[in-house]
Structure 1
Amino acid sequence: PQPSADPLQRKMMAVGMPLFMLYILWSAPAGLLLYWLVGNIVGFVQQLMINKLTKEEAPPPDEKGARKKPKLKPAEA
């Protein structure tokens, strides 16, 4: 298996899977569709909050214009 998916494949999955699930769940009982929609909305908001709280600034470029790699702390290594 590939370690990372093709960007086009990831984009298709990001759009296609929710549409496919909506199609499947449309004929299911209303509670199941409602449960799925609310769970996805809550997960989306939660991810936005986590991204906002853990956002790190990019290091300034060095004299050559290349960005320096951030050094890992011993606990993260």
Structure 2
Amino acid sequence: MTTIITTPSGEEIRIDGTKVCRGSSPEKCWQEDPEIITAIIQSARRKGWKIERSESLAEILRKKEKAHGAI
């Protein structure tokens, strides 16, 4: 599951597992501790920033494979 936080300035922060990315550039990605990720999400909630959750492409493909058998 990917969490997408949008700041008031329109910047996106994407969190996928323990990987955090600012914007769409791979150079702006890093690994973070789960406790820090929880704190980032809680802080964004308190500030009223937009928070969305979406499935990654890998998760969608895994579910399809499970439902229809391996390809």
Q: Specify if TM > 0.5.
A: no
Q: Give the number of the structure whose alpha-carbon radius of gyration is greater.
A: 1
TM-score (norm. length: structure 2): 0.29
Q: Which has a greater percent of strand?
A: 2
User: Which of 1 and 2 has higher RCO (CA within 8 Å, sep 6+)?
Assistant: 2
Q: Which has a greater percent of helix?
A: 1
